[in-house]
Amino acid sequence: MAKAGLKLKIFGSVQGINFRHHTKQIAEQLGLTGWVKNAPDGTVECLAEGEEKNLKKMSNWCNEGPKWSGVDKVEEQWLDYSGQFDSFNIIY
């Protein structure tokens, strides 16, 4: 299975509701590495690497988010796999 990278920018009611924490849990369940952080513009940004099928699952999850979130849209940018991450972390 091919590995890739995926950068996501999630818009909507996604800060202050544990979106990053749940994103980290999903990423770990899917065997992905990378990071997630709150951006100054009110969005959440995520950079994940791993198997393409699992990155697609991560993107699908981010389009829904936790049940109490209000995701308006998600921008995707597919990247080459770099292998630079050992784990998935929340950046504060």
28-77 tens-digit pLDDT: 999 999 999 999 999 999 999 999 999 999 999 999 998 889 999 999 99
1 pLDDT exceeds 90? no
Check: CATH 3.30.70.100 for 3-91?
yes
**Neighbour count for residue 70 (Cβ, 10 Å):** 10
Q: Catalytic annotation on 38?
A: yes
Residue among 86, 87, 32 nearest 57 (CA): 32
Mean pLDDT of 14-41: 97
Three-state SS at 58: helix
Which two three-digit tokens encode residue 84? 């630079």
pLDDT at residue 13 tops 80: yes
The residues, any chain, with a CB within 8 Å of residue 24's CB and separated by 6 or more, are: 36, 88, 89, 90
Catalytic residue among 38, 54, 60, 63: 38
20 pLDDT more than 80: yes
Is 20 part of the annotated catalytic residue set?
yes
Given 18, 20, 54, 63, which residue is catalytic? 20
SS3 61: helix
Residue 11 structure tokens? 């818009």
Q: What is the pLDDT of residue 31?
A: 98
CB-CB contact of 69 with 19 (8 Å) = yes
Rounded Cα distance between 53 and 35, Å, is 18
Structure confidence at residue 70 (pLDDT): 94
